[in-house]
């Protein structure tokens, strides 16, 4: 199968946006054994876009178009594919409902033009967008496959990984398998510099870094004649990764830190969590693990929190306290066996306007320390 990637957007042609989508998609297509012979960038112009789509159809079996699925007047990718392929667009009430829910979830107001995004191909497949409002689409017609993906990488990459990659696997005779190594406490650029040679030179298995709501992770993908052969290649590379990233790895194929922590504690583990001034974020994340917890809306005395924990040492296996100070930094205390940790950490740096990310980083830090103590 020969493929072509068509990136839609005048902003790409003007150099305002770097086209990272094309390199990412080419890499993933190569892993599937799908040849990618053409990369095309076209601006938001109706005639030039139609000409580009027709040319791609004449020379490729699989065409992936990125961008142009938004709600504005110049987002016309879907409409033009509909015209070129003579495939009607129909309004999908379920998609509209999902779009409305996304606006509610993000606290934004939906405008009338967003309803345009609820139109889909009458005989196509719908790709759910869990990160935005524009669904992706797949159309199989006239021995061609056309895939439409949203332009923002934060929407495109999860959609491709979760839905498009498995769909395209049926065009490959080889078995493909992946594992994910989840990290905490290290930056993406540092990881990439450590494994630059492997990322650039390895073709089977391949190694790539990604990040999502859980943080940073490495994806290792291998192809082979059998599942056993794939995992043999993957596990060999994971051993290399573990030698260099031991202090930062918390799991393989367990995305959430709290779930990784839960997998390490014995049955009947008694955990008490105390929080103040944090909206109960840590309690919420550990709700499936702990036996008991307490949230006090406002406590300004650091000593009081520590004394409360000290008074319960005989009742629990682990005691954890977390509070946000008036300065904006976080104070946490952990008691486990002979270990006693008290630390003040500032997570505001670089995220002052993103309270959700500040709390995620703070609670993740505490859970990682808890994880390390249990593992040790």
Model confidence pLDDT, tens digit, residues 2-48: 899 999 999 999 999 889 999 899 988 888 878 899 999 999 999 99
| pLDDT tens-place string over residues 137-176 | 999 999 999 999 999 999 999 999 999 999 998 887 778 8
The confidence band for 305, taking pLDDT boundaries of 50, 70 and 90, is low
Please determine, looking at this structure, whether the domain spanning 175-255 carries the CATH number 3.40.50.300.
Answer: no
| Positions of CATH 3.30.70.2860 in the chain | 175-255
pLDDT at 280: 87
| Positions of CATH 3.40.980.10 in the chain | 2-171
pLDDT at 1: 82
Which two three-digit tokens encode residue 40? 């095309």
Give just the sign of the alpha carbon dihedral 97, 100, 102, 105: negative
* pTM value > 0.85: no
Q: For residue 300, is pLDDT > 60?
A: no
The confidence band for 241, taking pLDDT boundaries of 50, 70 and 90, is very high
The confidence band for 268, taking pLDDT boundaries of 50, 70 and 90, is confident
| Burial grade of 5 (CB within 10 A; 0-12, 13-18, 19 or more) | buried
Out of 3.30.2350.10, 3.90.950.20, 2.40.30.10, 3.40.630.30, which CATH number does the structure's domain 263-375 have? 3.90.950.20
Q: For residue 299, is pLDDT > 60?
A: no
Which two three-digit tokens encode residue 270? 């008694």
pLDDT at 351: 59
Q: For residue 301, is pLDDT > 70?
A: no
Nearest to 214 by CA among 247, 251, 182: 182
pLDDT at 258: 93
| Burial grade of 60 (CB within 10 A; 0-12, 13-18, 19 or more) | buried
| Burial grade of 210 (CB within 10 A; 0-12, 13-18, 19 or more) | middle
* Strand-pair partners of 36: 3
pLDDT at 223: 86
Sheet order of strands, 292-296 included: 292-296, 271-276, 318-324, 330-336, 339-345
Burial 281-311 (b: 16+ CB within 10 A, else e): bbbbbbeebbeebebeeeeeebeebbebbee
pLDDT at 22: 93
80 contacts 46 by C-beta, under 8 angstroms: yes
Q: What angle do CA 257, 258, 260 make, to 5 degrees?
A: 65
pLDDT at 60: 95
Highest mean pLDDT among 20-29, 140-149, 188-197, 272-281: 140-149
Q: How far is CA 271 from CA 41, 183, 338, in A?
A: 55, 24, 15
**Cβ count near 375 (within 10 Å):** 10
pLDDT at 35: 84
pLDDT at 59: 94
Q: How far is CA 82 from CA 60, 124, 232, in A?
A: 18, 11, 44
Q: For residue 278, is pLDDT > 60?
A: yes
Which two three-digit tokens encode residue 143? 């021995």
What is the CATH superfamily name and number for domain 2-171?
MoaB/Mog-like domain (3.40.980.10)
Which two three-digit tokens encode residue 325? 């100070």
pLDDT at 240: 94
| pLDDT tens-place string over residues 78-114 | 999 999 999 999 999 999 999 998 888 888 888 888 8
| pLDDT tens-place string over residues 107-133 | 888 888 889 999 999 999 999 998 888
The DSSP result for 163-205, as a single string, is IIHHHHGGG-SSEEEEEEEEE-SS-HHHHHHHTHHHHHH--SS
């Amino acid at each position: 199968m020969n493929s072509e990637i068509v990136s839609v957007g005048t902003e790409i042609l003007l150099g305002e946006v770097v086209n990272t989508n094309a390199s990412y998609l080419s890499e993933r297509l190569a892993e599937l054994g799908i040849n990618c012979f053409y990369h095309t960038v076209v601006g938001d112009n109706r005639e030039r876009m139609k000409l580009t789509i027709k040319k791609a159809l004449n020379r490729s079996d699989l065409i992936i178009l990125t961008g142009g699925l938004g709600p504005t007047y110049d987002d016309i990718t879907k409409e033009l594919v509909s015209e070129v392929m003579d495939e009607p667009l129909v309004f999908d009430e379920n998609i509209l409902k999902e779009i409305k829910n996304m606006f509610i979830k993000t606290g934004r107001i939906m405008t009338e033009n967003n309803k345009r995004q609820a139109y889909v191909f009458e005989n196509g497949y719908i790709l759910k967008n869990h990160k935005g409002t524009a669904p992706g689409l797949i159309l199989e017609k006239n021995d061609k496959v056309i895939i439409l993906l949203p332009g923002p990488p934060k929407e495109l990459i999860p959609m491709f990984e979760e839905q498009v990659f498995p769909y395209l696997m049926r065009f490959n005779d080889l078995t493909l398998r992946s594992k994910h190594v989840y990290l905490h406490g290290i930056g993406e650029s540092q990881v990439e510099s450590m494994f630059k040679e492997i990322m650039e030179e390895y073709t089977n298995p391949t190694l790539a870094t990604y990040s999502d709501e859980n943080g940073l992770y490495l994806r290792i993908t291998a192809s082979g004649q059998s599942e056993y052969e794939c995992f043999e290649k993957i596990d060999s590379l994971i051993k290399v990764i573990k030698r260099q990233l031991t202090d930062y790895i918390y799991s393989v194929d367990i995305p959430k830190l709290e779930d990784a922590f839960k997998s390490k504690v014995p049955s009947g583990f008694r955990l008490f969590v105390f929080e103040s001034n944090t909206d109960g974020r840590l309690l919420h994340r550990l709700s499936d693990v702990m036996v008991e917890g307490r949230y006090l809306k406002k406590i300004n005395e650091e000593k009081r929190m520590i004394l409360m924990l000290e008074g319960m040492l005989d009742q629990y296996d682990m005691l954890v306290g977390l509070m946000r100070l008036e300065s904006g930094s976080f104070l946490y205390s952990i008691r486990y066996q002979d270990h006693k940790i008290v630390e003040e950490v500032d997570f505001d740096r670089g995220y002052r306007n993103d309270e959700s990310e500040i709390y995620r980083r703070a609670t993740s830090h505490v859970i990682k320390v808890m994880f390390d103590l249990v593992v040790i």
